Amino acid sequence: AQKITQTQPGMFVQEKEAVTLDCTYDTSDQSYGLFWYKQPSSGEMIFLIYQGSYDEQNATEGRYSLNFQKARKSANLVISASQLGDSAMYFCAMREGPDNYGQNFVFGPGTRLSVLP
Amino acid sequence: DTGVSQDPRHKITKRGQNVTFRCDPISEHNRLYWYRQTLGQGPEFLTYFQNEAQLEKSRLLSDRFSAERPKGSFSTLEIQRTEQGDSAMYLCASNRQGVTEAFFGQGTRLTVV
């Protein structure tokens, strides 16, 4: 079974609008971490935001926020005020177990976001 | 620049040849990871080092694949007797124990012809 599901292969958003990228996950661990990475065409994976399973507040980093719904096992990324430079692949990833185990990330298949001028 | 560096960026090789990739992590990072990413997919974990010790290996890492991190600094990933199915982007990442996110390099794109 897929551990990370991203049901939107591609998304379009108008510049300056907000967009939500969906992510659901599957784990039986109580301690885990959820991540979002951005991969532009250059290939580098750029860390955006992190949510720990025990964090009660939704994570925010500038224009990025993570809508964490633990009971639904979802960790959606919200990008506010989209910019043309946000056009890229976006990957949701999960680390199972506590941080001191290292980070064997499991990545989802990704969502390609295109920001329209 | 003190980011994760990978070399080469691109490699084209004939089937059956051996290839070796290098990753230089961020200098103070003691953890180093290798991932493989095929077209249209998310990265898949291959292996993980803490200092010079290889602590975890994916079953994706067949006996044709070997990774080393001899002095706990840079790492190499070698693929022996390459096959067309090995064509992929090979990504390296690093971080420090206690730091949440991992920092990725730009990857080595391997094409086996």
Confidence at A101, pLDDT banded by 50, 70, 90:
low
The single residue listed with the structure tokens 């982007």 is B89
What's the rounded Cα separation, in Å, for the pair A28 and A72?
A: 13
Mean pLDDT of chain B: 92
Instruction: Tell me how close the Cα of A65 comes to any Cα of chain B, in angstroms.
Output: 16
At A43 the pLDDT is 85
**Size of the A and B interface in Cβ pairs below 8 Å:** 64
Chain-chain contact of B48 with A99 (C-beta, under 8 angstroms):
no
Return the closest-CA partner of residue A90 out of A116, A117, A108. Answer: A108
Higher-pLDDT residue of B111 and A103 is B111
**Are the Cβ atoms of A93 and B50 closer than 8 angstroms?**
no
Averaged pLDDT, B56-72 = 89
Note the pLDDT of residue A100.
Answer: 58
User: Which pLDDT does position B1 carry in this prediction?
Assistant: 53
For A30-66, the pLDDT digits (tens) are 888 999 999 998 888 999 999 999 998 999 999 999 9
Q: Tell me: the pLDDT tens digits for B41-59?
A: 999 999 999 999 998 888 8
What per-residue confidence (pLDDT) applies to B100? 76
pLDDT score for A8 = 95
Section A108-112 average pLDDT: 96
Q: How far lies B78's CA from each of A45, B8, B21, B55, in Å?
A: 22, 13, 6, 17
pLDDT tens digits for range A57-95: 999 999 999 999 999 999 999 999 999 999 999 999 998
Which residues 6+ apart lie within 8 Å of A56 measured at CB?
none
Q: What is the mean pLDDT of residues A102-108?
A: 79
Query: Does the CB of B105 have a partner CB in chain A at under 8 Å?
Result: yes
Confidence tier at A113 by pLDDT (50, 70, 90): very high
Band of residue A1 on the pLDDT scale cut at 50, 70, 90? low
What local confidence, expressed as pLDDT, does residue A2 receive? 65
If you measure CA to CA, which chain A residue comes closest to B104? A45
Residue B72 pLDDT greater than 70, yes or no: yes
Residues of chain B contacting residue A103, judged by C-beta atoms under 8 Å apart: 31, 33, 48, 95, 102
Q: Identify all chain B residues contacting A93, using CB atoms and an 8 Å cutoff.
A: 42
How many whole angstroms separate alpha carbon B103 and alpha carbon A45?
Answer: 8
Nearest CB to A102 within list B48, B103, B109: B48
Q: Label residue B102 by pLDDT band (50, 70, 90).
A: confident
SS3 for chain A is CCCEECCCCEEEEECCCCEEECCEECCCCCCEEEEEEEECCCCCCEEEEEEECCCCCCCEECCEEEEEECCCCEEEEEECCCCHHHCEEEEEEEEECCHHHCCCEEECCCEEEEEEC
Q: Do B100 and A37 touch (CB under 8 A)?
A: no
Sign (positive or negative) of CA dihedral B34, B37, B38, B42: positive
